[in-house]
Amino acid sequence: MYGLIGEKLGHSYSVLIHQLLTNHAYQYELIELSQDSLGSFLERKSFEGLNVTIPYKKTVIPFLKGISPEAEKIGSVNTILSKPEGLFGYNTDYAGFLYMAKRAGVHFSGKKVLIMGTGGTSAAVCAAVKDHGARDIIVVSRSGQVNYQNLDVHHDSQIIINTTPVGMYPHNGETLIDLEDFPDCEGVLDVIYNPLYTNLVLQAREKKLAFGGGLVMLTAQAKYASDLFLNQKADDSIIDVTVEQMIHRIQNIVFIGMPGCGKSTIGKAIAELTGRKFIDTDIEIVHRAGKEISKIFSDDGESVFRRFERDVIQEKGKENSLVISTGGGAVLDKKNRMALRQNGKVIFLERNVDALSMEGRPLSINQAGLSQMYQYRLPFYEDCCDERVINDHLIDITIQEIMQKLEKK
């Protein structure tokens, strides 16, 4: 048996990643362990190999017969093999991190690098960055000499790396810094993989910086661990293939656009074709409010409706493998845009304003007002979307075009 040990593993994708990487070559399980039970579990040796995650990458070392040179240098173990003579530790985070950086186009030579966090992953990242020529390495912690209260001293950092769990599911949206405070920043790497894109990464993407999310590192380190498990050296090309397969499986498909452009109708069809659950945020709001949207507007006002909408989007945006149809004005709120993009491929569904249905739309008063609304909202739709699809033809043609875009790498 092979598996992943950690304290809380409800967010883990490791089982699926190992299955995809190795074509189900071995049984792989998630094993949640308390601090008190870690030692006895390791001493039983009821496994052939393990991966190790938060908070045990350093804690496991005293239980090992030996560790590899890279693990000894880093002081952190994320892979364990059980051999007849005992347990042996390795570190594949180092190579996995470098694979993520290379794929993102982030280089360290001669750069000032800011690393947030001091745990086991941080140790591997520090070693990798140092070995690849970083000019200056600043490690930040909550209570260290360099902390989040005096971070302005290092505003000239060029590469920023997050190795903390801040922003990880279920605490999506949290972030330790604002990239606006780092005008010289050229690239951002975040080891968090759930969500696919943390707010830190989304901000880097918005600023057109080089960026990398943790799913690539997670998959790469798993590949190198599986090489150890199977005593082989598979080609690294399997990493990108597996990343694309993972994204295809877990990514949400999000529809934005004007009221009456067909988001719900097309969303339901795409959900059926892709095997995903369909969520209409307006319907969710009606369930929660206990009244129709028009009544929310007339009884409570638009601000109350928008609060309901924000809550629904924040909740559903955290989830995976959904098709989400949003209200026409949802993208006006930046928090909504970030929440929809963190796990989603966002499709802007467009239709000629003259063809939009105004029935039952509380803010779509008349044709002139609708055109004015479209012009105001257009920049927000464009800012939020990954793809644009015109829905002025037969619905089957629109659906076919969307499916082609979803299959596109």
Question: Catalytic residues, which ones?
Answer: 57
Answer for the pair 120, 58: CB distance below 8 angstroms, yes or no: yes
* Cβ count within 10 A of residue 288: 11
d(CA 96, CA 194): 17
158 alpha carbon, distance to own chain's centre: 22
Answer for the pair 95, 217: CB distance below 8 angstroms, yes or no: no
Q: 125 in helix, strand or coil?
A: helix
Residue 261 assigned to a binding site:
yes
Residue 263 assigned to a binding site:
yes
Answer for the pair 277, 249: CB distance below 8 angstroms, yes or no: no
Residue 282 assigned to a binding site:
yes
How would you list the strands of the sheet with 187-190, edge to edge? 136-140, 112-116, 159-162, 187-190, 210-212
Q: 164 in helix, strand or coil?
A: coil
Residue 328 assigned to a binding site:
yes
Instruction: Tell me: cis bond preceding 55? Omega within 30 of 0 counts.
Output: yes
Instruction: Tell me: cis bond preceding 379? Omega within 30 of 0 counts.
Output: no
Rounded to 10 degrees, the C-alpha dihedral 4/240/387/185 comes to 80
> What is the widest separation between alpha-carbon atoms in the chain?
79
Residue 290 assigned to a binding site:
no
Answer for the pair 230, 204: CB distance below 8 angstroms, yes or no: no
Residue 301 assigned to a binding site:
no
Residue 329 assigned to a binding site:
no
Answer for the pair 277, 271: CB distance below 8 angstroms, yes or no: yes
d(CA 80, CA 58): 12
Answer for the pair 43, 69: CB distance below 8 angstroms, yes or no: no
Helix axes 14-22, 237-250, angle to 10 degrees: 130
Residue 121 assigned to a binding site:
no
How would you list the strands of the sheet with 252-256, edge to edge? 277-280, 322-325, 252-256, 344-350, 387-390
- What 8-state DSSP symbol labels residue 357? -
Residue 103 assigned to a binding site:
no
Q: How far is CA 92 from CA 81, 87, 104, 167, 206, in A?
A: 13, 16, 18, 23, 31
> Binding site for Mg(2+): which residues?
264
Binding-site residues for ATP sit at 260-265, 361
- Binding-site residue numbers for substrate are 282, 306, 328, 377
Annotated binding site, which residues? 260-265, 282, 306, 328, 361, 377
